Amino acid sequence: MTKRSGLEKNNDLYFIYFLILGLATLAFGITDLIVTITGSEYSIGVLNIPNDGFRGGWGGLIILFAGIFYLSGLKDLYEIHQLAKVVMGSILIWIIAGTDIFAMITESIPGGEDGGWFNTAQGFLGTYAPPYAPAIFLLPFSLVVIFCIHKYYKKI
């Protein structure tokens, strides 16, 4: 008998999870694009939607694509091509969030134009303080896909 993928066992659960994540990602992407088009800064609590052409425009478009990847792949996730779409959705989020975090790191270390060689401890920590861009919030939820890959290869 052919062994089944471990993902088949709780397929409905994964469906609901990626449906919610996909819709949230899609909403963030659309908001990002709207904010960029209108050109107005949008910040609410710990969330900041970038409005510049690069991060808000292209970045928003990529978040939107990530949402579409999630939604198109969530049905029959135990099928390798469907799982691949969901993985690609997560990769897009990792690219945006990864570059955001990398930019934070590179900004946090130097002392700035008028400061010393290196940033002060307060300045360093301040760089990592909220508000954050949507991709940073989506990042932990997108990591669930690693568990799905593990489950996929764990045959039952």
Partner 1 sequence: MKILLMGHPNVGKSVFFNRLTAANIIESNYPGTTVDYTKGYMRLEGKDIEIIDVPGTFSLEPKDKAEEVAVRMLHESKGSKVMCVIDASKVERGLYLALEIIEQGFSVVIALNMWDVAIDKNIDIDAKKLEQILGIPVVPTVGISGEGIFALVSRLKDATPVKVEDIVERTEGIKHKANTPDERWALIEGISKKIVTFGEYQHTLKDAIGDFTVKPATGIPFAIAVLYGFWSIFGSFAGFFTDGFLVKIFDEHWLPWLQAVFPGGLGNWFYALIVDVGHLENGVLAASDNCFESFGALSSGLFVPVGVVLPAIFIFYLMLALLEDIGYMPRLAVLIDTVLHKIGLHGYAIVPSVLALGCNVPAVGATRILETKKQRFMMMTLLAVFIPCGAQIGIMQDVIPGSIGFVMLYLMAGYFIFGYILNKVIPGRIPEILMDVPPYQKPMSRNISRKVWMRTSGFLKVAVPLVIFGSLLVNVLYLAGTIDWLGNILAPMFEGWFGVPRETAGPLVAAFLRKDLAVAQLSAIEMTKYQMISAVVLVSIYFPCIATFAMMLREGGKTFLGSLAVLLVVVFTWGGLLHLLWKLMGVA
Residues that bind partner 1 (CB under 8 A): 53-54, 58-59, 61-62, 65, 68-69, 80-81, 83-85, 87-88, 91-92, 95-96, 98-99, 102-103, 106-107, 109-110, 113, 117, 149, 152
The 8-class DSSP code of residue 53 comes to: I
Shortest distance in whole angstroms from residue 69 CB to partner 1: 7
Compare residues 3 and 122 and give the one whose CB is closer to partner 1. Answer: 3
Shortest distance in whole angstroms from residue 150 CB to partner 1: 11
Compare residues 45 and 122 and give the one whose CB is closer to partner 1. Answer: 122
Q: Which residues contact 9 (CB under 8 A, 6 or more apart)?
A: 156
- Burial of residue 86 (CB within 10 Å: 0-12, 13-18, 19+) is buried
Residue found by looking up tokens 């999630």 in the block: 70
Distance CA 141, CA 156 (A): 25
Shortest distance in whole angstroms from residue 103 CB to partner 1: 5
The amino acid at 105: I
Shortest distance in whole angstroms from residue 65 CB to partner 1: 4
